[in-house]
Structure 1
Amino acid sequence: MKIGIISDTHGDYRSWEKAWNFLNNADVIFHAGDVLYHGPRNPIPEGYDPKKLSNALNTCSIPLLIAQGNCDAHVDQMMLDIPIQTPYVFSIIYGKRFMIQHGHNISDEDIHNLVRRYKLDFFITGHTHIPLLKKIDSCILINPGSTSLSKREDKINSLGLIEDGTVRIIDVETGENILSLNFNVTPHIP
């Protein structure tokens, strides 16, 4: 099982190309929102080309599940053949339960409640552009950071990978681990 996790691409085609080097053999890719538009508070990314990015996503050979971000609008959905789901994406893959929500309008308490209610193995957010890996009970909370507009002090753009019992947040330029966390690979039995 290999799952790619990205967020906050903000229309940056070049960052998608870099991320694709690590995602091209994934079984599925989760996108935690803010897909095409850079947003009024963000600078325009260097590789900003939302039309080219939408074409790349539309022709992506790997299943792509997208949660709506605060910068995703109806016009963005008109450019994509892939549904932007709102406000949550819920999926069970290889016996593991995943929920994705962009993160701009959910509290820590809400996340904890959802983790318990749905017996989640992974809860994925974006929005902050800062990578995060932490455990909530037996669930792993993942924020892959941004592939395009990092708000880390060192400005490293990042994505997440789940593979072989490990969640890693990696630098999209070098592939080096920024954060990692091991988990139990035994499938969840309802």
Structure 2
Amino acid sequence: MKIGIISDTHGDYKSWEKAWNFLNKTEVIFHAGDVLYHGPRNSIPEGYNPQKLSNALNTCPIPLLIAQGNCDAFVDQMMLDIPIQTPYVFSIIHGKRFMIQHGHNISDEDIHNLIRKYKLDFFVTGHTHIPLLKKIDSCVLINPGSTSLSKREDEINSVGLIEERTVQIIDLETGKDILFLEF
């Protein structure tokens, strides 16, 4: 099992190219939203080119499952051949249960309730642009951070990878682990 986790690309094609170096051998890619638009509160990313990013996503040879973020709108769906699902994506891969939700309108209590109700192995969020790996009971909570608009003090952009029994959050520039968890 090798699964890619990405969020908050915000129309930045250059960051997608960097992320692709880590995602191109995965079985599936989960995107936790905010795909094409940079959002009114964010600066425009250096590699901002939503049309080029939408073309790359449309031709991605790996299945891509996208949860709607707060910056995703109907016009974004017009650019993508891949459905932006709202507000949740639920999937079972290799017997593991995944739920993806952008994270802008869900409480910690709601997350805990969903984990229990759906017996989740992984819950993926985005929105904060800050990477997070945390165990909640037998579930791994993952926020891969942002590929393009990091809110970390060191401004590291990142993606996540799930392989066999580990989860990594990886710095797009260096390829080094920012966070690592065995489950």
Deviations 1:52-86 (A, max 9, x none): 00000000000000000000000000000000000
> Partners of 2:98 and 2:13 in 1: how far apart?
26
| Counterpart residue type for residue 54 of structure 2 | S
Matched with 2:155 is: 155
| Counterpart residue type for residue 18 of structure 2 | K
**Structure-1-length-normalised TM-score:** 0.96
> Partners of 2:32 and 2:55 in 1: how far apart?
18
| Counterpart residue type for residue 128 of structure 1 | T
Matched with 1:95 is: 95
SS at match of 2:162: strand
Task: Count matched residues.
Answer: 183
Deviations 1:70-110 (A, max 9, x none): 00000000000000000000000011000000000000000
> Partners of 1:158 and 1:17 in 2: how far apart?
12
- State whether structure 2 residue 64 is matched by structure 1 residue 64: yes
> Partners of 1:7 and 1:165 in 2: how far apart?
22
Deviation, 1:164, is 2.3
SS at match of 2:159: strand
Matched with 1:54 is: 54
Structure 2 gaps of 5+ residues are none
> Partners of 2:28 and 2:175 in 1: how far apart?
19
> Partners of 1:173 and 1:153 in 2: how far apart?
16
Written as runs of structure 1 = structure 2, the 5 A alignment for 1:33-182 is 33-182=33-182
SS at match of 2:25: coil
Matched with 2:25 is: 25
Deviation, 1:28, is 0.3
Over the residues paired in the alignment, what is the CA RMSD in angstroms? 0.4
Deviations 1:24-68 (A, max 9, x none): 010000000000000000000000000000000000000000000
